[in-house]
Each structure stands twice: as structure tokens, then as C-alpha cells.
């Protein structure tokens, strides 16, 4: 049996086309999808503080965050509030209902996105009435937003919020999760009505857009984290080590069939050298030596051009330690051919 709750912003089915109105506290039996003495106002205050904290954190460091920082959390009323814990379904001590769910990289649960564009998030264990599973069921029935952390690589998690539990499937030991973090991600405006009636009312269309965007983010962040880790979090050309200023550059563009999102088709570059690489100011030859375009070498300009671009000519790039992660020579050769075409046209 599958239960669903109303989420009008997603266009999901309602239960009798009604919305429940809860007082500040609820005293329903905890085994019946509700908790004793649930303070909705307090819960909303903690969730809002967590979302605000995550917004500040991602504005500084991007949306892939280190697990130790998430486990440390933030302070509220002189109490520490972590946002992740040892288990995937996590409830901080000062809350009664889970705040976050986590999919660990290479974890024991096969969480996956279904054909209906909803994430299937596995129960904790085999018991549907386990307190963690009951907590998510309560969040579903009360339409409480959560944070979803998806493990990209060990100890690095992509943060997405708000997400909602919208279905419960005891026969498959899984919840259905709507990844509705589009407003936070800038995919949709803060005012959903600005999207137009068709998009707002068309929940299926909106979910498809949101999930497509979420998948793209997951793939992009996974590629970036794997490439930066392979290059030891430094620019392969200038050795800059500030991760906030580093990109994972595709050697062959990801829009092309050969442009796979694998480490051997990537190079860790700082923002300056990524732009220079994309615009063929320079290239990395198949022998992994940097070549600066001839007309750029002859140009006279300030110290940035002289030291940051021209000074790289003829130097080897920094390579990953593992041979299997080093840029593929055949991929570099294809890219280098395009560089030569641009150079000849100058």
C-alpha cells in the first residue's frame, strides 16, 4: 500500500483534497504516524535555522560540503545542532522529528530515482515501525521539509533542500522523496506563480524539471569532486590550492559523445586557466606539456599575462598520482588538434 500527502507546489495528489491544520502541539499516539507533544513552532524554528545556515555555508563553499562540518553543525539557543549523524535518517537532540536524510557514497542502501522522478529512499532496517522510519512517516503526514545529503565521494556531500517525503511503500521498505530544492538552487523564482499556470499546476512537468536539474547537479558535482581529488586539490597548471577557485575542466566537452564525465577526460584548473583552456589560449599536448598559442606568446601586456599564461609555455602539468586517473593521451590529442586549428586561423 502506498500513502501520499498533499504538496500543492508539486502538483501531487491530495488526500480527500484537504489540508490539515495543526496546533502548536500534537498528542497522537507515536505508533500512529504522529508524536506525543510535538511542538510544530519549535520544529519550524529549528528547520528554518538549519536551512539558513546551509544557505550561508553553500554560498561560501559551494553545495558540496565536508561531512565533518555538517556533523559539527550550528548553534541555536546555545546548543549545537548537527545536521548529519551516524545513520542516514537523522534527528538532532533538540528535535522530535528527523531533520535530514543521507545517501552515503557506496553505502549499504540502493537509494535510486524512479521513473516517476521521485527518489526511493530505503527504510532503516527491515522494520517499518522503527523509530527512524516512523519519524519520516510523521514528516510525510505533517508535510515537514527535510535536507537531503547525497554522498559524492567519501566525506563529501551534495546538500539539497527542501525535500519532502511524499510516499510510503512498506512492501518495498522505501519512502518516496520529492527533491524540491528548485527555489534554493535558483531553478525557479521565489514566487511559483511567476512560472505560469501550466508549470505550477503541472506537477509532473515540474517534478521532471526539478529532477533533471538535480541529476545534472549530481553528475557535475561528482565529476568535479573526483577530478579535484585526483589532482590533490590544486590547479594542474599553476598549483593554486584554493578549492573555491578550482574547476574540473572537461578536456573534450561533455556535450560531445566522447566527452564522458570521467577523471581521464578532466583536468583540475583554476578559474583563470580554465577560461584560457576553454578559449584555446593554451593547450595540453598529448605528452602532457603546456603549449601557449603563438600570438599570445608574442603579445605584450601586464604581469598577469606574462607570468600566469606565457610563463607556462613548455612546462609539464601536475599529474594525478594514479596512472589510471591521468588525462588520456588520445583525448588530449583530439583537443590539441582543435587548438592547432584555432592557432592557424589567427
**What is the tens place of the pLDDT at every residue in 164-211?**
999 999 999 999 998 865 444 444 444 444 434 344 444 565 556 566
Q: What whole-number distance in Å separates Cα of residue 29 and Cα of residue 27?
A: 7
Q: What whole-number distance in Å separates Cα of residue 141 and Cα of residue 167?
A: 9
The answer to whether the beta carbons of residues 160 and 215 sit under 8 Å apart is no
Taking residues 328-335, report their average pLDDT. Answer: 96
Pairing assessment for the beta strands 266-270 and 246-250 based on DSSP bridges:
antiparallel
pLDDT of residue 242: 93
Q: What whole-number distance in Å separates Cα of residue 315 and Cα of residue 19?
A: 65
The pTM (predicted TM-score) of the whole model is 0.69
Using one digit for the tens of pLDDT, what is the confidence trace for 212-239? 666 677 778 889 989 999 999 999 999 9
Collapse the DSSP code of 168 into the 3-class scheme (helix H, G, I; strand E, B; otherwise coil) and give the result. Answer: strand
pLDDT of residue 211: 61
Q: Please name the residue ranges forming H helices in the chain.
A: 40-61, 67-72, 131-141, 182-185, 197-201, 203-230, 271-278, 294-298, 303, 329-345
DSSP secondary structure letters along 236-280 = TTT----GGGEEEEESS-TTSTT--SSGGGEEEEEHHHHHHHHTT
Q: What whole-number distance in Å separates Cα of residue 104 and Cα of residue 149?
A: 8
pLDDT of residue 229: 93
The answer for residues whose C-beta is within 8 angstroms of residue 298's C-beta and 6 or more apart is none
Using one digit for the tens of pLDDT, what is the confidence trace for 51-75? 999 999 998 888 899 999 999 999 9
The answer for residues whose C-beta is within 8 angstroms of residue 145's C-beta and 6 or more apart is 47, 51, 161, 162, 163, 164
Q: Nearest 5 degrees, angle CA 345-CA 265-CA 63? A: 110
Provide the total of helices (H) and of strands (E) in the chain, helices listed first. Answer: 10, 15
Q: What whole-number distance in Å separates Cα of residue 273 and Cα of residue 245?
A: 11
- Supply φ then ψ for residue 149, to 5 degrees: -110, 120
Place of cell 529512499: 121
pLDDT of residue 108: 57
Residue 109 scores a pLDDT above 60: no
Q: What whole-number distance in Å separates Cα of residue 224 and Cα of residue 243?
A: 10
Average pLDDT taken over every residue of the chain: 82
The answer for residues whose C-beta is within 8 angstroms of residue 345's C-beta and 6 or more apart is none
Amino acid at each position: 500500500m502506498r500513502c501520499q500527502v498533499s504538496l500543492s507546489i508539486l502538483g501531487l495528489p491530495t488526500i480527500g483534497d484537504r489540508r490539515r491544520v495543526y496546533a502548536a502541539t500534537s498528542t497522537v499516539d507515536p505508533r500512529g504516524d504522529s508524536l506525543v507533544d510535538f511542538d510544530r513552532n519549535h520544529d519550524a524554528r529549528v528547520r528554518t535555522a538549519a536551512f539558513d545556515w546551509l544557505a550561508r555555508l553553500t554560498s561560501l563553499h559551494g553545495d558540496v560540503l565536508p561531512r565533518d562540518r555538517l556533523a559539527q553543525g550550528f548553534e541555536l539557543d546555545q546548543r549545537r545542532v548537527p545536521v548529519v549523524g551516524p545513520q542516514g535518517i537523522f534527528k538532532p537532540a533538540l528535535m522530535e522529528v528527523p531533520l535530514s536524510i543521507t545517501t552515503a557514497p557506496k553505502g549499504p542502501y540502493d537509494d535510486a530515482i524512479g521513473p516517476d522522478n521521485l527518489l526511493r529512499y530505503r527504510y532503516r532496517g527491515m522494520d517499518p515501525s522503527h523509530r527512524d522510519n516512523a519519524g519520516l512517516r510523521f514528516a510525510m503526514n505533517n508535510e515537514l521539509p527535510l535536507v537531503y545529503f547525497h554522498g559524492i565521494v567519501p566525506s563529501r556531500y551534495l546538500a539539497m533542500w527542501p525535500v519532502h517525503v511524499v510516499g510510503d511503500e512498506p512492501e518495498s521498505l522505501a519512502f518516496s522523496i520529492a527533491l524540491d530544492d528548485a527555489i534554493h538552487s535558483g531553478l525557479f523564482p521565489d514566487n511559483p506563480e511567476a512560472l505560469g499556470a501550466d508549470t505550477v499546476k503541472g506537477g509532473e512537468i515540474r517534478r521532471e524539471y526539478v529532477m533533471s536539474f538535480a541529476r545534472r547537479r549530481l553528475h557535475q558535482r561528482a565529476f568535479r569532486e573526483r577530478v579535484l581529488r585526483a589532482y590533490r586539490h590544486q590547479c594542474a597548471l599553476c598549483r593554486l590550492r584554493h578549492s573555491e577557485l578550482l574547476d574540473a575542466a572537461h578536456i573534450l566537452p561533455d556535450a560531445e559523445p566522447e566527452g564522458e564525465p570521467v577523471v581521464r577526460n578532466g583536468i583540475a584548473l583554476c578559474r583563470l586557466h580554465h577560461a584560457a583552456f576553454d578559449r584555446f589560449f593554451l593547450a595540453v599536448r598529448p605528452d602532457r606539456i603546456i603549449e601557449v598559442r603563438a600570438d599570445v606568446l608574442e603579445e605584450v601586456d601586464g604581469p598577469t599575462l606574462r607570468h600566469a599564461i606565457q610563463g607556462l609555455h613548455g612546462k609539464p602539468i601536475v599529474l594525478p598520482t594514479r596512472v589510471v586517473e591521468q588525462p588520456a593521451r588520445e583525448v588530449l590529442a583530439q583537443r590539441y588538434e582543435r587548438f592547432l586549428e584555432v592557432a592557424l586561423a589567427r
